Amino acid sequence: MSDQGVTGKVVAVRGAVIDVRFSEADLPPIDSMLSIEMEGAEPLILEVHSHLDPQTVRAIALQATGGLARNAAVLATGRPIEVPVGDAVLGRLIDVTGAVRDRGPALPPDTKRRGIHNPPPPLMETGATGGGLFETGIKVIDFFSPLSAGGKAAMFGGAGVGKTVLVMELIHAMVEKYQGISVFAGIGERSREGHELLTEMQRSGVLPRTVLVYGQMNEPPGARWRVPMTALTIAEDFRDEKHQNVLLLMDNVFRFLQAGSEVSGLLGRLPSRVGYQPTLASEVASLQERIASASGAAVTAIQAVYVPADDFTDPAVTAISSHMDSTIVLSRQLAAEGFYPAVDPLASASVLLDPEIVGEEHYALAERARQALARFKELQDIIALLGTEELGPADRQAVRRARRLQRFFSQPFTVTEAFTGVAGKSVARADTLSGVRAILDGEADDWAEDSLYMIGSLDDARLKEQAGAGSKERAA
């Protein structure tokens, strides 16, 4: 096929699914790009999905198809969708096709472009740069579910439990300590959330080292389905060509699978479990296996995952979690009780919580803390019925310390400062360990529980306790 491409004609339009006939040329390859000139609008971009017969292909539109008519001319170049990569896209907001959407100047004409469909790096070349701890400054994550530099972490939670806030806080937390490039993929995001993130990044000075890639909720399923591929392609270019570390943030990976399910339905495939597409597992794998460290640079992925109806056995949730090094589970009950971030320490896990990686002390403390919190959870029904007075001395002590641990793991965030009036805190892992050790050893047994709520290190709690004791003395 020549570089100038060949021309076909639209023969059927069914929403985002378009059939195109090429009667005088070879069919364009699967996953290659088609383009249709639209009067008074930008060209409509399609992606070839299947070959129906020797002359007809079925394609998925990445933009709205309103106004498209049969017999419209379709240009096929035989190449995949190519998006701009490199330093030119830093500080910019682009869409799934690489078009700039931040109302800024156009990208330079000589900007390098790269196809969005690339194989994962060979297994022998991956992993050499990964494995170290990736400190976030968020106590409950660094303690119970530490992240790996060059690894994959996912935050699972239902609607309204704080996934997006946690992602935004992680972006803030990485600005000072993380020297690298950030790529943010907004998959099926609300326009309001995208605008808030863009203005917040401009205000905080993070934007010059960040690329924002959006496929919004109101866009066709094809756009939401391919947005992660665009973001990954940009991250891969920084990794392979510039050998720079990349922090890849995705919010929300469930919307990627939801869009794939919509595309599958439009293509007439029979649904599989719970109505999902039959290709669910392979779609997740094709995305996650490309997130890898290679070429002497690490790609660290942090992904938010919506859990439909808080059902953690949902096929989409289980398919994603099987690829993760760290899983952070957000609890609706903790959010309702006012513990933010609402991370459930008993449900969260990490392959890095190993004595050989985090050290014997951290591992032993995490086991002790989990035992205390698990015992408190077991006793909650008894406490609700009879109160703590009916418990034995050992159980009363376990409950007292578990309640203080719960409050210690709450933390004020920088991104919520405007709403709460409380300055955000970032806590080093060593300070988190010393705080947990002190609480488990009984140092805070006589402190007011409020002294440990929404603080940074234990020193903040000590100051609050001293101030509280002083005010009580004055009142007396």
CB 259 within 8 Å of CB 87? no
Tokens for 441?
């050893």
Q: Is 279 left (phi over 0), alpha (psi -120 to 50) or beta?
A: alpha
Q: Which residues contact 116 (CB under 8 A, 6 or more apart)?
A: 80, 81, 82, 83, 226, 229, 230, 232, 233
Tokens for 220?
């066709």
What sign results for the dihedral spanned by CA atoms 225, 226, 227, 231? positive
CB 95 within 8 Å of CB 223? yes
Residue 132: how many CA atoms within 13 Å on its side-chain side?
A: 10
Chain centroid, CA 345 distance in Å: 19
CB 1 within 8 Å of CB 24? no
Q: What span, in angstroms and rounded, lies between the C-alpha atoms of 133 and 310?
A: 29
Give the residue from 234, 240, 242, 282 showing the smallest Cα distance to 116: 234
**Please, is 61 exposed, middle or buried when counting C-beta atoms within 10 Å of its C-beta (0-12, 13-18, 19+)?**
buried
Residue 162: how many CA atoms within 13 Å on its side-chain side?
A: 25
- Residues with catalytic function: 163, 189-190
CA distances from 362 to 87, 172, 268, 436, 464 (A): 40, 25, 52, 10, 26
Secondary structure class of 333 (helix, strand, coil): helix
CA distances from 49 to 175, 277, 411 (A): 40, 15, 47
What sign results for the dihedral spanned by CA atoms 139, 141, 146, 147? negative
Interior CA angle at 283 toward 163 and 48, to 5°? Answer: 120
